[in-house]
Structure 1
Amino acid sequence: MKSAQSVSRKGPFDMLVIGGGINGVGIANDAAGRGLSVLLCEQHDLAAHTSSASSKLIHGGLRYLEHFEFRLVHEALGEREVLLRKAPHIIWPLRFVLPHRSHLRPRWMLRAGLFLYDHLGARTTLPGSTALQLDDQGPLQPRFTHAFEYSDCWADDARLVVLNAMQARALGADIRTRTRCVRAQREGGLWRVELESAEGDRELIQARALVNASGPWAARVIEEVVSSRSPYGVRLVQGSHIVVPRLYTGTQAYILQNEDQRIVFVIPYEQQFSLIGTTDLDYQGDPAEICPTEEEERYLLEVVNAHFKHQLTRADIHHRFAGVRPLLDDEDANPSAVTRDYTLTVEAPDKQPPLLSVFGGKLTTYRRLAEAALEKLEPWLDGGPAWTAEHALPGGDFDTQAALHDELAAQFPWLPQQQLARYVRSYGTLCREFLDEASGSEELGEDFGGGLTEREVRYLCGREWAVNSEDILWRRTKLGLHLSAAQQRRLDEYLQAQGRGTEATG
């Protein structure tokens, strides 16, 4: 990994990245660490769409085995261990219980699939799968007598994006949020790119390579911004989730088989809640305007109610969200069977500067996707070697969450335990940036609710590109689940009075 001082800002950028989701920031971060000069533009907030609307999992994709996507599963399983080391604050192990339903997949098939899952990729810290004998004391209905248990990981998806952007910035990358790419054309052996800020200001940027990592907008960027023809179609698949009060005690998650052969996750979420998802529906509208449908909510409730003793109704839904997964259109009639693998294309006619476009992909494999993108651009960009596998993301420079918790508790004994636990799992060692030199809660300023203090808000606006309460409450933190409407309005008032948020400082 090269230092920021090795990045030259004179002349054109080596790379301009369109898109501030996980793939865009992953590529920008990898490139900046190889000594390349990078500018990333995102038309909204970082992780504003697909990358903050996932099931919050770093997983191999057990169900992908049914579609014979062995390469994808192998790569994803290996990445679980890498990402656990890189970001122990926002990624941690999670055990999944898979109840057996005899009229669906037979037990021998599940056992064989889990054996393959255990051994298809590198697994050094996560325990393997095991069979379970259930009794009627658990949260599942008594008709479930057998289950299997296996390992994957939970992740704070939006913070994974932000931390990659922060690391890229520390390495010299220019990260522009709320900045739209209006037009890009080749001229004089370079890309000439026109950017437009949220205030309407326009700027011309030159770059040696253009990376289109705009997710659901990938084909549109090629056609409308670059004025070219997309080599692939992007199939937009809607995935919706609901959040309900905690369904059961315990730290395990559940993976439920439905009659339509799809699966639904039930995941412990923010201490007090359970996260339920996801769905698979083809989507035709504006990706920025997506929201769950009543039909999807009904579907998720029916699947959960078919498994758990505690029965849910729509009145139990505390929060709901949906995202668009931009999948490579392989013309499969079933949205659930469309590949989650990624495809990278490079267009560079007659030795012109390259356009690399990203189609598909998943949260778990973003880092390997970034390495593959840099490999494809090697003929045009002279960067250093791959480096991201061995370097922690910002805040991840500690051994275990428990050890960091104890260290911070000794340093800040006046912090409430619940607040301290949130700092550990959201910021890791980064929380010292707004805690250091504070000797009591009063020095953190106004408490907006849920332990969100004025000093934390100032940090998020100044260092993590947060602009408004939505950025803070739903992407930088998940405190939107805990703050009342009145508390959220007070945060809005504070931000407006402070005039916060045009961009993060260096």
Structure 2
Amino acid sequence: MRESFDMLVVGGGINGAGIARDAAGRGLSVCLCEQDDLAAHTSSASTKLIHGGLRYLQQGEVALVRKALNERETLRQLAPHLIAPTTFVLPHARHLRPAWMLRAGLWLYDHLGRPNPHFPPSQRIDLQRDPRGETLQPGYRTGFTYADARVNDARLVVLNALDAHERGADIRTRTRCEQLIRHRDHWWAVLRTASGDVQRIRARCVVNASGPWAGTVLQRAGLDAPLGLRLVQGSHLVVPRLFAHDSAYLFQQPDQRVVFAIPFEQDFTLIGTTDTDYDGDPAWVKPRAEEQAYLLDAVNRFLRVPVEAEDIVWRYSGVRPLLADHHRAASQVTRDYRLELDTAGAPLLSVLGGKLTTYRALAEEALGRLSPSLPAMGPAWTAGGPPLPGGDGGDAVQVAETLQRDHPHLSPALLQRLATSYGTRASGLLAGAQTRDALGQDHGGGLHERELDYLITHEWVRTAEDVLWRRSHLGLRLDAAQREALAATVQARVSMP
């Protein structure tokens, strides 16, 4: 096992994986360590959107929105099978904001980003005539539409890590960075695996991309510089599908926040999010009863058929490490990022804040900050470079059509899910399989032995939770007995020599 690297990245969320990919593509030797699974925490607990952030305009975050809108199309080209352009419906609630204000904000949103046919400009609609108005209470007559995109956040992380690995990066999951020892021109890092094995590696620089654990990593490096982070909890609910069409809704709230209702995994609707200050261990965050009540009240202000607590099939929560601003409400704190570079010896770069949509730009900027210390690195490449693994065959519909032609006897629903998850990599996963039996045992929800093998071999899966809630959302479709059986199967498989 290699022991010397140009860069050690601590943290396997979206920023860490994106930085590792960018660095590996520039010819650097990279090791990424993650104490749990890839995207185990914040990066799998988002609202699963690639978006500019319409509500940030009200807070004056014009530069952030422009950056995010431009990244939106860049990311769609990187992973067209994973990122789905989506129309959002914004009902006009007259008692909250006048229509002219919404129209002005949407006009600005349209013009901050580059014109793009995948993200058409906003429109005013008549909710009494438009079928999407049927979901809403009859009092809502006017609405607006605009375009953004949905994404499987955890799979976006995995694809970045996979691409980094295929470019030479060493990805070590279930490996905690326990100590960082600084010298003038290098770091020694003490890493500990889940089995207790200790690994020691040497790195010319360290990137602290550990999200809400950024302060802990600095302490392990013997540093106590103020980080300026504010930890904010965001929670989400998943319920059976609330509407038949494929548009999403953005609902304004009396407290000036917004709540989304988004099509999710074909048969469900995702409702989120909240903004609540958090001071516990980020690994143990859970949705609070008051957050659930807030989200239900938020959507029921608009929906014709109310959502009840007993309708909820899944709840999840994550901790966002936001730039500290204790003079604002949690919902108004910026989602922008800051990079802090410490060069009092071997370089250490800490990533503070950020949002899913801007991870690629953040990674590119991070490498730019480190370039004087790593003069042999190549130029920036990710903006117009090759797509992420599986992204070379078009969107999920196009990939599914190819898979259906090559595997006519397999279920269209199965092939659509595989296309959305793996893109063109699904062809290799299915190679030679013309019948369902050829895929091996079905563990439930269409998760066959062939796919499970692929995930364990190529995508760092070590537990059933990795499969059911991050590499996929099949946990929504398996019952308790199936989940328990899958856990035993995965444990047995990963324990094999």
The question of whether the paired residues in 2 share the 8 Å contact of 1:57 and 1:155 is answered with yes
The correspondence for 1:138, drawn from 119, 127, 134, is: 134
- One-letter code of the match for 2:41? H
Q: Indicate yes or no: 2:270 matched with 1:278.
A: no
For 1:71, the equivalent position in structure 2 comes to 63
Task: Note the C-alpha offset of 1:427.
Answer: 0.7
Q: Indicate yes or no: 2:369 matched with 1:387.
A: no
For 2:300, the equivalent position in structure 1 comes to 305
Q: Indicate yes or no: 2:428 matched with 1:433.
A: yes
The question of whether the paired residues in 2 share the 8 Å contact of 1:240 and 1:322 is answered with yes
Task: Note the C-alpha offset of 1:501.
Answer: 8.7
The correspondence for 2:236, drawn from 219, 236, 241, is: 241
Deviating more after overlay: 400-409 vs 476-485: 400-409
* Percent of aligned pairs sharing the same letter: 54
In structure 1, C-alpha distance between the alignment counterparts of 2:115 and 2:8, rounded to whole Å: 36
Task: Note the C-alpha offset of 1:457.
Answer: 0.4
Task: Note the C-alpha offset of 1:12.
Answer: 2.7
Q: Indicate yes or no: 2:450 matched with 1:455.
A: yes
1:376-415 correspondence runs (5 A): 376-382=369-375, 383-390=377-384, 391-415=386-410
For 2:161, the equivalent position in structure 1 comes to 165
- One-letter code of the match for 2:352? F
Deviating more after overlay: 472-481 vs 387-396: 387-396
In structure 1, C-alpha distance between the alignment counterparts of 2:269 and 2:395, rounded to whole Å: 24
Residue deviations 1:3-51 (CA, integer Å, cap 9, x gap): xxxxxx9773110000000000000000000000000000000000000
1:323-472 correspondence runs (5 A): 323-349=318-344, 352-382=345-375, 383-390=377-384, 391-472=386-467
The question of whether the paired residues in 1 share the 8 Å contact of 2:340 and 2:349 is answered with yes
TM-score by length of 2: 0.97
For 1:127, the equivalent position in structure 2 comes to 120
In structure 2, C-alpha distance between the alignment counterparts of 1:98 and 1:232, rounded to whole Å: 37
The question of whether the paired residues in 1 share the 8 Å contact of 2:8 and 2:205 is answered with yes
Task: Note the C-alpha offset of 1:419.
Answer: 0.4
Q: Indicate yes or no: 2:490 matched with 1:495.
A: yes
Task: Note the C-alpha offset of 1:123.
Answer: 3.0
Other structure's SS at 2:66 match: helix
Task: Note the C-alpha offset of 1:400.
Answer: 3.2
Other structure's SS at 1:389 match: coil
Task: Note the C-alpha offset of 1:215.
Answer: 0.1
With over 3 angstroms needed to count, the CA separation of the structure-2 counterparts of 1:282 and 1:443, relative to structure 1, is: same
In structure 2, C-alpha distance between the alignment counterparts of 1:98 and 1:461, rounded to whole Å: 42
Other structure's SS at 1:461 match: helix
1:284-303 correspondence runs (5 A): 284-303=279-298
In structure 1, C-alpha distance between the alignment counterparts of 2:273 and 2:207, rounded to whole Å: 29
Other structure's SS at 2:383 match: helix
Residue deviations 1:174-225 (CA, integer Å, cap 9, x gap): 00000000010112521011111111111111111100000000112112x1
The correspondence for 2:208, drawn from 190, 208, 212, is: 212
The correspondence for 1:93, drawn from 75, 85, 95, is: 85
For 1:257, the equivalent position in structure 2 comes to 252
In structure 1, C-alpha distance between the alignment counterparts of 2:280 and 2:49, rounded to whole Å: 26
Count of residues in correspondence between the two structures: 491
The question of whether the paired residues in 2 share the 8 Å contact of 1:433 and 1:459 is answered with no
- One-letter code of the match for 2:325? D
For 2:217, the equivalent position in structure 1 comes to 221
The question of whether the paired residues in 2 share the 8 Å contact of 1:219 and 1:233 is answered with no
- One-letter code of the match for 2:396? Q
Other structure's SS at 2:443 match: coil
Q: Indicate yes or no: 2:39 matched with 1:47.
A: yes
Other structure's SS at 1:377 match: helix
Q: Indicate yes or no: 2:188 matched with 1:195.
A: no
Residue deviations 1:277-326 (CA, integer Å, cap 9, x gap): 00000001000000001110011001111100111111011110000000
Deviating more after overlay: 334-343 vs 214-223: 214-223
Other structure's SS at 2:483 match: helix
In structure 2, C-alpha distance between the alignment counterparts of 1:501 and 1:184, rounded to whole Å: 32
Other structure's SS at 1:499 match: helix
Q: Indicate yes or no: 2:174 matched with 1:174.
A: no
For 1:33, the equivalent position in structure 2 comes to 25
Residue deviations 1:258-283 (CA, integer Å, cap 9, x gap): 11111000000111110000000000
The question of whether the paired residues in 1 share the 8 Å contact of 2:462 and 2:494 is answered with no
In structure 1, C-alpha distance between the alignment counterparts of 2:279 and 2:298, rounded to whole Å: 25
- One-letter code of the match for 2:289? E
Unaligned runs of 5+ in 2: none
Task: Note the C-alpha offset of 1:405.
Answer: 1.6
In structure 1, C-alpha distance between the alignment counterparts of 2:491 and 2:23, rounded to whole Å: 36
- One-letter code of the match for 1:313? E
For 2:470, the equivalent position in structure 1 comes to 475
- One-letter code of the match for 2:112? L
Other structure's SS at 1:378 match: helix
With over 3 angstroms needed to count, the CA separation of the structure-2 counterparts of 1:463 and 1:10, relative to structure 1, is: closer
Unaligned runs of 5+ in 1: 1-8
In structure 1, C-alpha distance between the alignment counterparts of 2:6 and 2:273, rounded to whole Å: 38
Q: Which consecutive aligned stretches of 4+ in structure 1 deviate over 6 angstroms post-superposition?
A: none
The question of whether the paired residues in 2 share the 8 Å contact of 1:56 and 1:155 is answered with yes
Deviating more after overlay: 410-419 vs 46-55: 410-419
In structure 2, C-alpha distance between the alignment counterparts of 1:379 and 1:132, rounded to whole Å: 53
Other structure's SS at 2:373 match: coil
In structure 1, C-alpha distance between the alignment counterparts of 2:444 and 2:327, rounded to whole Å: 47
The question of whether the paired residues in 1 share the 8 Å contact of 2:82 and 2:395 is answered with no
- One-letter code of the match for 2:221? V
